[in-house]
Amino acid sequence: MSKVFDLYKQVGGAFGPSGREDDVREMIAALAGDYVDDITTDTLGNLICRRKGPGKKILFASHMDSIGVVATYIDENGFVRFSQVGGLFQGDLINIQVRFANGTRGVISYEEKTPLKELTLDHLFIDIGARDRTDAEKMVRPGDFAVFEAPCFEQNGIICGPYLDNRIGCVTLLLTMEQLAQTEPENDLYFVFTVQEEVGLRGAGTAAFAIEPDIAVAVDVTDTGDLPEQKVKMAVKLGSGPAVKVMDRSVICAPVVREELEKAAEACGISVQREILQFGGTDTAALQRVRSGVLSGAVSIPTRYIHSPSEMCAVRDVEQAAALLKEFAENSK
């Protein structure tokens, strides 16, 4: 198995829905400790890993939170109603397993009298195998968060599993930090693993406000356009290299940053794709708007089935993204 997959299993397996990122933060801090000069955590929970240098402040950000669900009500028969934490699509949820922070597991199902085409989240519930409400409350209470519980695998250079969005971005930054560990950086590098991106890009802005970077680059996943009969055409393919973001619904990236990222890729002999994401956004938007503005861009890992329990990406795209970011960190002026 690849090093990318090994890191993903460690980081991806940690419990970490938005607002509950503690386990992920501890895991990343342990993995990053040998590669940086200092590690701190801010009040909101962002993990900030710094590699000191005399040049420009460059901030790399990758969010460590995931989407999930939160228990809202338990009925008299012990079935748990829930609300979403981040963006969920009911079609991805039927008959999947979830896990609460205390280890309790359950299956999401639906009210069968409702036609599938009319289903909303209000028609779904979590079955934890309880006899009644009293029995269920011994395992789950309103306000408890849960995440997808699904297997992961690596096959033919492809990784599949839950929460590649955005634990694979965190893996990309860890690989970048490792590659930079043997060098003396010209720039002052901050690797920030942000919180609460999935519920409104909340962590990235506070971290960037404190650091005041000269340049910021977000690392996240992006959709692909290579599946059969997709509604929205997109010039990004799985396994064809990392994507350099041009724009999405929340941001238009600074052309100078995009150009420097593309030059870094060329210097490494890496082919990159250009990303125009017509739906959704990333931490890039929050980084860009801090204080009087920050020159911001993004590198994205092409990923299929985003926000489902079975997301998919290519090992090669992750490895090349890390190499690109190393070159950018070392040579950006």
Would you call 228 exposed, middle or buried from its count of C-beta atoms within 10 A (0-12, 13-18, 19+)? exposed
The CA-based angle 133-138-140, given to 5 degrees, is: 80
- Residue 319 is among the residues annotated as catalytic for this protein: no
User: Phi/psi at 69 (nearest 5 deg)?
Assistant: -135, 160
Q: Which of 197, 198, 260, 330 is catalytic?
A: 197
Q: Measured between alpha carbons, how far is residue 67 from residues 10, 73, 333 in Å?
A: 18, 19, 36
Phi and psi torsions of 29, nearest 5°: -60, -40
Residue holding tokens 């992750």? 318
Greatest CA separation for the chain? 65
Of 196, 144, 143, which is closest to residue 19 (Cα–Cα)? 196
List active site positions. 197
